[in-house]
Amino acid sequence: MPASLQDVAVKAGVSLATASRALNGKGGVKPETRQRVLAVAQELQFSATMAARGLATSRTETISYVVHQRHVPLDVDPFYPIIMHGVEAELSRQGYHLLLTTISDEQLKDASSFKPVSENRVDGVILAGPDISPRFILALRQLEVPVLLIDNTLDTVQVDAVYSDDVQGGRLATSHLIEHGHKTIAALLGPASWASSAHRGQGYRETMAASGLEPHIFHAGDTTLETGKALMQEALAALPALTAVFTANDAIAFGAMRVLAQQGRRVPQDVALIGFDDTRYSALSEPPLSTIKIFKHEMGKLAARRMLDMLTDDHGPAIQTVLATELVVRRSCGCTEL
């Protein structure tokens, strides 16, 4: 009969919880105690099954990664799946599993009916994207489950989050266009209520003001290729003499490119363009798209690590991790590609 976690704990002279934490690489265990437990487990040829771990710790060893249904199918979305892979890689390394969950607008109305939590399927929830409503986020936290945001933050409540330095990214893109001599620069952004869009617009606006230039901001209700086309048409109608465009993400930039091509305006000779995110399609456009790089895989890994820390420190303060952004120079901004 194979050894149980109870057998390991008894022989090592520790509690079930301590044995489980030692075997799963969790904190709160003295190094000498961990080594003793590991040695006993090896001696007894113990294999910690997920079920056994769950009985000892009252945990599922599973984290829910939630994206809004608008990002489905995920094989088409070039952004959140990469972050998810970073989350999954780190969770797997720590003996945890990831449950991918998509959520609809209807489901966002009632956090109490969110099944991964209401049915105790997961130990924590990672909400990816700025399009998950603050109301849902706050209601989910009231259910006393660890909640972490990716690519999002709340203005009024401190919530654990991992996101890119979007303000600095907006500054980098706008400064680069100004260095090329552009003065009439439009910003094509998503909803002002989305933290990422608002922060990228803030960086653009501050940089324009610092150079004595008038900002020209155009908002849409989404950040897709189609909204990029609509915003570009709106910007050209309002600013026929514009010579440069900064967009809230690469999808908007691709939509803008299509409209510019239809109207006979060359990129970058007539209109320079810089996107945001550095998705896998950025280098494949014609011309290749200059953009602000977000370190997506690293963002996922950091989110997973923070979530696991939250599981062992229920009453600690909220921690927000901000990743630096980086300008990736290609040809759409007017540079010779590096």
Q: Domains along the chain?
A: 5-57 (1.10.260.40), 62-164+296-321 (3.40.50.2300), 166-294 (3.40.50.2300)
Report residue 25 CA to chain centroid gap.
26
**Secondary structure of residue 294 in the 3-state scheme:** coil
Long-range pairs of 9-16 with CB within 8 A, sequence gap ≥ 24: 9/37, 11/40, 11/43, 11/44, 12/36, 12/37, 12/40, 16/56
Q: Residue 24's pLDDT is what?
A: 64
Report residue 3 CA to chain centroid gap.
41
Q: Does an H or E element contain 292, and which?
A: strand 290-293
In 3-state terms, the chain is what percent helix, strand and coil (to 5)?
45, 15, 40
CA gap 78, 129 in Å, rounded? 13
CA gap 276, 289 in Å, rounded? 9
CA 142-87-299 angle, to 5 degrees, is 90
> Looking up tokens 């330095």, which residue turns up?
165
Please name which of 196, 131, 205 lies closest in space to residue 163, comparing C-alpha atoms: 196
Total-model pTM: 0.81
Tens place of pLDDT per residue across the chain (338 aa): 567 777 888 899 988 768 777 776 666 678 888 889 888 888 887 755 444 444 444 678 999 999 987 654 545 567 899 999 999 999 999 889 999 999 988 888 888 888 898 888 899 999 999 999 999 999 998 888 899 999 999 988 999 999 999 999 999 999 999 999 999 999 999 999 999 999 999 999 999 999 999 999 999 999 999 999 999 999 999 999 999 999 999 999 999 999 999 999 999 999 999 999 999 889 999 999 999 999 999 999 999 999 999 998 766 889 999 999 999 999 999 998 55
CA gap 174, 165 in Å, rounded? 14
**Secondary structure of residue 63 in the 3-state scheme:** strand
Report residue 311 CA to chain centroid gap.
20
3-state secondary structure 244-277: EEEECCHHHHHHHHHHHHHCCCCCCCCCEEEEEE
Q: Residue 45's pLDDT is what?
A: 77
CA gap 245, 237 in Å, rounded? 14
CA distances from residue 91 to 19, 61, 167, 308, 319 in whole angstroms, order as listed? 20, 9, 29, 8, 19
Main-chain dihedrals φ then ψ at residue 185, nearest 5 degrees: -120, 125
The amino acid occupying position 209 is: A
- Neighbouring C-beta atoms of residue 227, cutoff 10 Å: 22
Length of the chain: 338
